[in-house]
Structure 1
């Protein structure tokens, strides 16, 4: 009987801890850490101050809307991060769904998804809803085939970044690229985000935001 109890304990531990030490069940401290990131990353950010003076077309006026979804899943953390035209908030030009799935040594490991049918009218204006994407399920998503992670940097802010040498699929016929390497940097107060993304076409870098879009929180 004792051996059976020990086996059950070990089995439970193996389920919640991967071979790389990543945990997918979070304790109170880890939940607080995740919630702090979500709070600082959520909201509407735009680069109006920068776009008013910038000459580069890559720094044209744009808006990022980020918000938590599927909050009814109490043990899971999902976010939508979408890129919008400021005068057309109904539908994003690009949207990614991020699932914070595990933690290891203060690094949050994140899966990235896209909607199977991003033109579906049911997806419009979901950022206005109290419970965004309430009717949608995980099977409505397609994996983008990349790993991502979130860490706290030396300045006390957060960085969301794609794993080195991986590319997240970007399937939008209107876009001049078909892959993304994410690199978002949020300041410690959650008031500013810088974007250093790489955009790929046929697995080659089409352009890289070296002079990063600087987006400020829109109150």
Structure 2
């Protein structure tokens, strides 16, 4: 069966996502028994990362280099992103259903993440970093955007040590599906976070220290 963007969105709404075993492998559907999420009221930002954010000297952009972010995420010896999956996410991006958060330093893209938006749920797909803390800072900016836009679910699919350090947790399939059903039937605003906020203000929103004004 051909996978279309509409079919892919329906799969996300049902709790299923696509992966390939390797770059040239066939696309398969995955429905884990245990699911990774980051509670939007539970982001953990270490002291060292807070210090790095306050120092500034970087720029975080949204949706200015989506294809480049996906390619960077796939540029590994082992990747689950095949050509079919890459093409599908590009189509979702064109439909404004997939987004990238990008970390830029001295004019170079050195980290970021991308994922899919559906209702008030965001499904994080992958992240990359060629500079210390770049992907972590992109994640902080993502959480701030989701909190500002009144999202209810940040799905990370699986939990890695990297995500655990940022507040990621693992929940069972049935608990995940209850959260998923609630979130996908709600309306959220992807563009609610103002673009001119200071790094400190974004950090405060992401960690719940303040709200968007």
Q: Larger relative contact order (C-alpha < 8 A, sep ≥ 6)?
A: 2
* TM-score, normalised with respect to structure 2: 0.32
* TM-score, normalised with respect to structure 1: 0.32
Structure with the larger helix share:
2
